[in-house]
Amino acid sequence: MTDDELDQRVRASILAEELDTARLEHSIRERIRRPRVARWALATAASIALVIAGGLAYRAFFQPTPLICVAAARDHNYEIVNGAPREWLSDPAAILSLVAQQGVPSTAIAALATIGYRLEGGRLCSLNKQIFLHLTYSKDDLELSVYLRPGGPQSPVDRAVHEASVGTEDLAYFQTDRLTAVFVAEHSPAEALAFARAADRVL
């Protein structure tokens, strides 16, 4: 058998195979019609989604304690728990005057007094380079600090009362459009939270 004869036989054998090209052509036309999304666009979208999901997860599980709370906890520990020598105003009228000077609504002080906490003293202090009105309250044997500053956040207000813990100090804090308020008590997360919630209702 010559090469040509062999080629012809092989060719005839292979060409006799059945082929379903109609179905294949249909599939190809379908794939060509389908809009093609660039791989880079998919990768970019996936990366953005990953970053957003990561950010949300971080906020949900590892919400950092605001720096102002860290500073308030240290201040309470230093001045109240350890009794650092400081000049405190104890006269209610003098405290109210100081409150008025700082632009904190005096009704806030009166409202706090109505929910079972006794105002003990007041002075100005600096937390994270911001001037706060530091008020101390007592309830039974417990001493609590309340740090107030007029003005809320620039961004839309989240009225929820948040909790935090820094060292031995337990904190609760909230912000309104008029006021930033931080409540600190040592080893008393329930008291700090209860005081903050009560204050949130009346402020």
List residues near another protein by CB under 8 A.
1, 3, 6-7, 10-11, 14-15, 17, 19, 21, 24-25, 27-29, 31-32
Q: Which residues contact 79 (CB under 8 A, 6 or more apart)?
A: 86, 125, 134, 145
Q: Shortest distance, CB of residue 27 to another protein, whole angstroms?
A: 6
Q: What is the three-class DSSP state of 166?
A: strand
Minimum Å gap between C-beta 68 and another protein is 56
Least separation, in Å, of the C-beta of 48 and another protein?
26
- DSSP codes joined into one string, 116-156: T-EEEEEEEEEETTEEEEEEEEEETTEEEEEEEEE---SSP
Is-contact 148 111, C-beta < 8 A?
no
72 C-beta neighbours (distance < 10 Å), count: 27
Amino acid type, 89: L
* Between 34 and 129, CB nearer to another protein: 34
Q: Please say which residue, 11 or 86, places its beta carbon nearer to another protein.
A: 11
Torsion of CA 49, 51, 57, 63, to 10 degrees: -140
Nearer to another protein, 38 or 93 (CB): 38
Between 19 and 37, name the residue whose CB sits nearer to another protein. 19
Rounded to the nearest whole angstrom, what is the least distance from the CB of residue 4 to another protein in the complex?
11
Cα distance between residue 96 and residue 202, in whole Å: 17
In angstroms, give the least distance from the CB of 30 to another protein: 10
| Longest alpha-carbon distance in the chain | 123
Q: Which is nearer to another protein, 27 or 106 (CB)?
A: 27
